[in-house]
Structure 1
């Protein structure tokens, strides 16, 4: 994701420079550079959305596992040591 961000910054900067350079002289070239920028923007946006949703889903799953572990500890099924060990596995 970090690499895609760096590529995106460079790509969009170059696209903007070329769009501004060609805007007065060659409108077709300016539109072409705008389209090239969009070709990168769309997949980048999709990757960002998927990554964010996956991360939030993982966080909620971990939270639910911790809640279930705590319930087992409160019922006396797990000892304190077992609870701490399992908790570290989930969080680690």
Structure 2
């Protein structure tokens, strides 16, 4: 588990803004308003239902959107290379 996430706070107390299916499993994206020490208010969490795991994927919703726009405004070859770059 990601130490920046307070696991004592239920998911329903975070803002879910996307659900999607990948590799046959369901994932959801949440905005976290109550992070642990070391985390940031507004960080974006990816929750994977099948493994019941959480991970911070961006320090803020703005950073997540900027990454999403940059990634999707490239050619397919550029996107493959861009996927190797992490947001954090």
Q: How does the TM-score come out when normalised to structure 2?
A: 0.29
Q: Which structure: greater helix fraction?
A: 1
Q: Normalized per residue, which structure has more strand? A: 2
**Bigger-Rg structure (1/2):** 1
Report which structure shows greater RCO (CA 8 Å, sep ≥6): 2
